[in-house]
Amino acid sequence: MTSITKVQLNAPYLILIGNLKDSTYAKTGSGIVQWRPELVAGQLRFDDCEVDLGVPDMTIAEAVNAGARSLVIGVAPVGGVVPDSWWASIEEAARAGLDIVCGLHFKLKDFPAVTKAAQASGARLIDVRTPPANLPVGNGKKRSGKRVLMVGTDCVAGKKYSALALTQCMQDAGMRASFRATGQTGIMLAGEGIPIDAVVADFVSGAAEVISPDNETNHWDVIEGQGALSHPGYAGVSLGLLHGSQPDAIVLCHDASRKVISGWEHYELLTVQDTIEQNLMMGRRTNPGIRCVGISVNTSQLPANERKNYLDSLGQKTGLPCVDPLIDGCSQIVDQIQQQFPEY
């Protein structure tokens, strides 16, 4: 039987964000700081960096003296690579004995200087974005248990944050719920999962089935989503995850300030309503009973006095609970799940 990817990271972490200009691409570092701040020693930024995670700035030497044990590459840029100018710092960290943790689309062992430095110091090179071997092709057969999948109008729209917040809220309400990680940051936080966008295309839906296998009837898997069905670059992984997850419910995740696809500005976002219908239509292929139970909105870029009106208006248009999970929590969405699935 295929197992999921498991990782054991040594904390505290020094998070590398280098000379990043756009916080959108700092989602790995931001996610760790948001959900596991106790594991973070500080951030490594270069002089021209325009992003701040809100934790202490440290050099590699300062981090080592403070007890840091791992350097986490905290960015997720388009294409999944980092600038050549960053490698001197990564090599320095490995030479200083820090484990190097990477969730991008390359393998640390392919960089000889870093490998040599790690071998000399005893540091580990940990590539999180490595799917397990022998993944199956999806079979589409019904599995026991219940599933709720986060879907989005775009990438980096809050799917991981929403899944983590919803899992916690469901557990607080006495429900049996587990977070299922499908991306590098989620795997770092949960310690296990499958990096779904690193899976060979034919096996994406099968990987999603492995992530959320048969479970007890009253148990909910809360599945971290990836990409968006309307994304011109990443729709394929979103569709495979949707089919393989066979979700009973979806939560639509949306950034209230975004009008176009991030990084693909020549494409406008679909509306929230159209995105919900698109996901329900495609999701019915493997679960005819799929339904949307709420909308999770990142309102961080809205003026504070506009936030409530925005959420209220969206709720009136869709007939669904609309919340910012980091401000409002997810209790309204949990209430909707309990009403829609009273037997669970």
Per-residue pLDDT tens digits for 97-114: 999 999 988 899 999 999
31: containing domain: 5-127
Classify residue 137: in a domain, yes or no. Answer: no
- Better-scored residue on pLDDT, 27 or 121: 121
Enclosing H/E stretch for 223: strand 219-223
Classify residue 133: in a domain, yes or no. Answer: no
Residue 256 banded pLDDT, cuts 50, 70, 90: very high
Query: Same domain for 332 and 227?
Result: yes
Q: Which residue has the tokens 């540091």?
A: 123
Classify residue 134: in a domain, yes or no. Answer: no
Classify residue 139: in a domain, yes or no. Answer: no
**Residues whose CB is less than 8 angstroms from the CB of residue 141 and which lie 6 or more positions away in sequence, other chains included:** none
Query: Same domain for 155 and 248?
Result: yes
pLDDT of the residue at 277: 98
Classify residue 138: in a domain, yes or no. Answer: no
List phi, psi (to 5°) of 151: -125, 165
The predicted-structure confidence for 291-333, as pLDDT tens digits, reads as follows 999 999 999 999 999 999 999 999 999 999 999 999 999 999 9
Query: Same domain for 280 and 251?
Result: yes
State mean pLDDT over 82-103: 95
Query: Same domain for 247 and 182?
Result: yes
Query: Same domain for 150 and 118?
Result: no
Query: Same domain for 159 and 219?
Result: yes
- Mark out the alpha helices in the chain (DSSP H runs): 27-35, 60-65, 87-95, 112-121, 159-172, 184-190, 204-211, 235-245, 272-283, 304-318, 331-340
| 290: CATH | 3.40.50.300
Query: Same domain for 42 and 12?
Result: yes
Query: Same domain for 156 and 69?
Result: no
Query: Same domain for 62 and 179?
Result: no
Classify residue 135: in a domain, yes or no. Answer: no
Please state, in angstroms and rounded to a whole number, the distance separating the CA atoms of residues 169 and 165. 6
Residue 24 banded pLDDT, cuts 50, 70, 90: confident
Query: Same domain for 229 and 104?
Result: no
pLDDT of the residue at 22: 85
> What's the structural domain count of the chain?
2
Query: Same domain for 245 and 296?
Result: yes
pTM: 0.89
On average, the pLDDT of the chain sits at 94
- Beta pairing class for 5-6 and 192-193: antiparallel
Angle of CA points 160, 43, 329, to nearest 5°: 30
Classify residue 136: in a domain, yes or no. Answer: no
Q: Which residue has the tokens 């040599």?
A: 116
Query: Same domain for 161 and 93?
Result: no
DSSP code of 156? Answer: S
Classify residue 175: in a domain, yes or no. Answer: yes
DSSP code of 227? Answer: S
| 33: CATH | 3.40.50.720
